[in-house]
Amino acid sequence: MKKKFKKWVKNIKNECNLIIHHPVEYGTMVLTCIREYIKNNVIFFTYVVACTFNALLLRYFTIHTFENLFDYAPLFMDLALVILFGSFCYLFKKKNRFYYLFAVTILLTAICIINSSYYGFYNSFTSVSFLSMTVYIGDVGNAVVKQVIHPQDWIYLWAPFMLLLEYIILKKKRLLAAKESEIEIRNKTKFKHAFGTALVFALIFCFSLNDTKIGRFSNQWNREYIVMSYGIYMYHVNDLVQSIEPQITSLFGYDNAMRVFNEYYEDVPDTPTTSNQYTNIFKGKNVIAIHAESMQTNNMSLSFNGETLTPNLNKLAEEGIFFNNFYSQVSVGTSSDTEFTYNTSLMPTNSGTAFVSYFNRTYVSIPKLLKEQGYYTFSMHANKGNYWNRDLMHQSLGYDHFYSKEEYEIDEVIGLGLSDKSFFRQSVQKLKDIQAQGRPYYGVVIMLSNHTPFDDVDKYGEYDVDIKEEVVQEDGTVETVSYPYMEGTLLGNYFKSVHYADEALGEFMEELEAEGLLENTVIVLYGDHDARLGIDEYRRLYNYDKETNGLLDPSDPEYVPFDYYQYELNRKVPLIIWSKETKENLHTVVDTPMGMIDVMPTLGNMFGFYNKYQLGHDIFSVGDDNIIVFPNGNWLSNYVYYNSQKNEYLPLKDKAISEDYIEKGNNYTNRLLEVSNSLIVFDLIKRNEELKNTNNYYIDERNVNQ
């Protein structure tokens, strides 16, 4: 060992002397060595370059930051992992190395294609745990093909094709030169060299890390930031570990999760401590909650050719309590995330979805708390019961009955299933039977027709989204001129779908009134998430130039800037609480920023129930300081929208924003996301309640003995 070390030191000295005294010769020698290495390892070199370049392309095409192309940190991490994965080819026989590298290339290419298409639809990167939800893709396959997959998503296929072409060419050349003698480094040595190179790149990458990068990597919720900082391949390595966390909760992380949980809840009271003018105003009343699929608040301000887009929704808002600064807080689970957050006041999980990955946890929910008051609880949705695992999760949430597709007559289909108009008509009959039981009830009716891909245009009814103008001709006659505007666009089709859904809602309210089902009843309507359409669709909406059928030039005084921040702020959804009481004297508009996580506490104050584990706030008690936390680490207050990916913010009011204010917002966001995820993954509500009961048992026993 000593001799080897001395030899190694001697070689280093010789290298240093050569660099100092003969730099040109040394440089030439290094280049010759590199050329020789590439020449003898062409397939491996092609594999490394292709897969690393694909990762770089993905970051550029998704995150759209040109400066990211020159960030060495994710590039070096991508290189490290690509070389590491490829190094194992040298442990195979020479004839099998290509097949191994080709298989790895296909896998890494698939990662790029899937994430490229997924990002285009969800503005996020996919998760390994999303594979558990692929069983649901068949039900929305048409939407996937039309809106998720784009031509640019296939550009990454050049990598395996290039590798295959290189192999075919080299195979022919090597057959011609088969007799040439060549000094081969032993396979194990090649493996060690490649493995060592990977470690060097990983070490260089480590020098770029700071506390923020490390913290966000371990938390995983800010996926875009992780991909920007660590590269797509390291993101998925981390995601794989996070995705199997439910299976190893008893072995890893429990103590830290319990500490975070206890620290957060140690000062949270077991009973409500505040009251306001809305406290208990609806206690004992029936509740019909309407889950409005893909309904956005901005729809309520639109009209085309003088016809309001959502007249019935607008009427409810004018007569009820309308929260006009309300946002969903969904992650990859979209509608299921909304159902979960609405019912539990917890955030979506960092990995996977609560409905699929954590349906067997113990939750405190609206249905459970109202059942304690004697309510009958139910949900209605004319889709398959196992879609998004609803049949099992609705049991966990405490619904007494789930009326799914099997209990509806599918007599009119729009989009993914039974039309909303037929669904509402049939649901009214079921509501009559429920009311006949004589018990107060709480039920959620989940709409479906206004679901992507919004392509059943011929079934939505007549609603034009073009521009019609009357023009006086030279001869004095008046002619109607039409400009396409939103006709034929995805957003235009969405508006037609929205108008249909609004008509269905209006008919539902009329039928409820006719059957006497609005007496002693409160309607709670919430949009589950935005339409998830591209930013360019909205640029056309706000900047249409009818003269060119294109967009106004940015220099035009009428041009409306619509960037990332405008797009994010535009994603708000409606929340309306309506009853005959609000219609008479309680109608108001609430401007305070509010998230789906705040609905349960707000309704709890009105209906007289309380959840110690809720993470949201009663919006009527929190004041103007409420912060909306999004699953990716972004947050919104009355004063700023903070972008955690870029560590920047957009001021929303004329007020100086201090670094301390931003730091407090970040700390609150990180803490809330960590607490929520820990609570769900480790089933801490159940464990905490069991611990309390155990402690109470021993206290009682001690008292008895005394």
pLDDT recorded at residue 179: 38
What is the mean predicted confidence (pLDDT) over 84-100? 88
Residue 575: pLDDT band by 50, 70, 90 thresholds? very high
Our measurement of the distance from residue 49's CA atom to the centroid of its chain's CA atoms, rounded to an integer in Å, reads 31
pLDDT recorded at residue 679: 95
Residue 180: pLDDT band by 50, 70, 90 thresholds? very low
Does the pLDDT value for residue 43 go beyond 70?
Answer: yes
Helix (H) or strand (E) segment spanning residue 240? helix 232-243
Tell me 28's DSSP state.
H
Cα–Cα distance between 202 and 75 in angstroms, integer?
10
Does the pLDDT value for residue 277 go beyond 90?
Answer: yes
Distant-in-sequence, close-in-space partners of 543: CB < 8 Å, separation ≥ 6: 551, 552, 558, 559, 560, 562
Q: What is the dihedral of CA 121, 123, 125, 131, to 10 degrees?
A: -40
Does the pLDDT value for residue 185 go beyond 90?
Answer: no
More confident residue, 284 or 63: 284
436: buried, middle or exposed (CB in 10 Å: 19+, 13-18, 0-12)? exposed
Does the pLDDT value for residue 246 go beyond 80?
Answer: no
- On average, the pLDDT of the chain sits at 86
Residue 389: pLDDT band by 50, 70, 90 thresholds? confident
More confident residue, 138 or 23: 23
Tokens of 529: 């998430």
| pTM for this entry | 0.81
Long-range contacts of 242-248 (CB under 8 A, 24+ apart): 242/127, 242/129, 242/350, 242/351, 243/127, 243/128, 243/129, 243/351, 243/352, 245/351, 245/681, 246/352, 246/357, 246/358, 246/681
- Using the structure block, give the residue that is written with the tokens 């062409």: 42
pLDDT recorded at residue 698: 38
Cα–Cα distance between 695 and 697 in angstroms, integer?
5
- Using the structure block, give the residue that is written with the tokens 């957009």: 650
Residue 696: pLDDT band by 50, 70, 90 thresholds? low
pLDDT recorded at residue 82: 93
Residue 408: pLDDT band by 50, 70, 90 thresholds? very high
Q: How does pLDDT run across 648-676, given as a tens digit for each residue?
A: 999 998 888 999 999 999 999 999 999 99
Residue 131: pLDDT band by 50, 70, 90 thresholds? low
Cα–Cα distance between 231 and 234 in angstroms, integer?
6
**Residue 589 φ/ψ, nearest 5 degrees:** -115, 125
Beta bridge partners of 677: none
Closest-CA residue to 617 (of 633, 641, 599): 599
Does the pLDDT value for residue 598 go beyond 60?
Answer: yes
What is the mean predicted confidence (pLDDT) over 385-403? 93
Residue 249: pLDDT band by 50, 70, 90 thresholds? low
pLDDT recorded at residue 654: 86
Q: How far is CA 297 from CA 223, 455, 529, 530, 594, in A?
A: 27, 21, 10, 9, 13
Residues in the chain: 706
Residue 176: pLDDT band by 50, 70, 90 thresholds? very low
Contact 635, 665 (CB under 8 A): yes
Domain ranges of the chain: 1-40, 42-174+184-243, 276-457+489-695
Cα–Cα distance between 58 and 155 in angstroms, integer?
10
Q: How does pLDDT run across 148-157, given as a tens digit for each residue?
A: 567 778 899 9
Q: What is the DSSP string of 505-566?
A: HHHHHHHHHHTTTTTTEEEEEEE-S-----HHHHHHHHSEETTTTEE--TTSTT-----HHH
Does the pLDDT value for residue 424 go beyond 60?
Answer: yes
**Residue 675 φ/ψ, nearest 5 degrees:** -65, -45
Q: How far is CA 532 from CA 316, 537, 645, in A?
A: 24, 11, 19
pLDDT recorded at residue 183: 40
Lowest-pLDDT range, 40-44, 533-537, 599-603? 40-44
Percent with pLDDT over 90 in the chain = 58
Three-state secondary structure call for residue 162:
helix
Residue 129: pLDDT band by 50, 70, 90 thresholds? low
For residue 538, the tally of other CB atoms under 10 A from its CB is: 18
Q: How does pLDDT run across 195-221, given as a tens digit for each residue?
A: 888 888 888 888 887 766 776 676 665
Residue 410: pLDDT band by 50, 70, 90 thresholds? very high
Closest-CA residue to 396 (of 362, 369, 436, 366): 362
Contact 485, 544 (CB under 8 A): yes
Does the pLDDT value for residue 516 go beyond 50?
Answer: yes
What is the mean predicted confidence (pLDDT) over 477-491? 91
Tokens of 417: 């299933």
Distant-in-sequence, close-in-space partners of 233: CB < 8 Å, separation ≥ 6: 55, 77, 78, 81, 82, 108, 111
Three-state secondary structure call for residue 83:
helix
Our measurement of the distance from residue 703's CA atom to the centroid of its chain's CA atoms, rounded to an integer in Å, reads 52
Tokens of 658: 């201090």
pLDDT recorded at residue 290: 98
- Using the structure block, give the residue that is written with the tokens 């159902």: 339
Lowest-pLDDT range, 26-40, 68-82, 226-240, 616-630? 26-40
Lowest-pLDDT range, 182-186, 231-235, 556-560? 182-186
Does the pLDDT value for residue 703 go beyond 50?
Answer: no
Does the pLDDT value for residue 172 go beyond 80?
Answer: no
Lowest-pLDDT range, 71-75, 544-548, 631-635? 71-75
> What stretches of 123-179 show up as alpha helix (H) in DSSP?
141-143, 158-176
Lowest-pLDDT range, 181-190, 361-370, 603-612? 181-190
Tokens of 497: 């779908």
**Residue 683, CB-side half-sphere exposure with 13 Å CA sphere:** 17
Q: How does pLDDT run across 251-262, given as a tens digit for each residue?
A: 567 888 999 999
Cα–Cα distance between 108 and 160 in angstroms, integer?
10
Closest-CA residue to 494 (of 294, 290, 291, 292): 294
More confident residue, 59 or 458: 458
Please say whether the dihedral angle defined by the alpha carbons of residues 323, 534, 384 and 398, taken in this order, is positive or negative. Answer: negative
For residue 324, the tally of other CB atoms under 10 A from its CB is: 17
Tokens of 289: 């909650």
pLDDT recorded at residue 623: 81
Tokens of 30: 């290094």
389 in the Ramachandran plot: left (φ > 0), alpha (ψ -120 to 50) or beta? left
Number of H helices and number of E strands within the chain? 26, 22
Closest-CA residue to 542 (of 569, 581, 504): 569
Cα–Cα distance between 391 and 427 in angstroms, integer?
18
Percent with pLDDT over 70 in the chain = 83
Contact 368, 609 (CB under 8 A): no
Three-state secondary structure call for residue 409:
coil
- Fold entry, domain 276-457+489-695: Alkaline Phosphatase, subunit A (3.40.720)
Distant-in-sequence, close-in-space partners of 161: CB < 8 Å, separation ≥ 6: none
8-22, 35-49, 435-449: range with highest mean pLDDT: 435-449
Cα–Cα distance between 340 and 146 in angstroms, integer?
28
Helix (H) or strand (E) segment spanning residue 321? strand 321-323
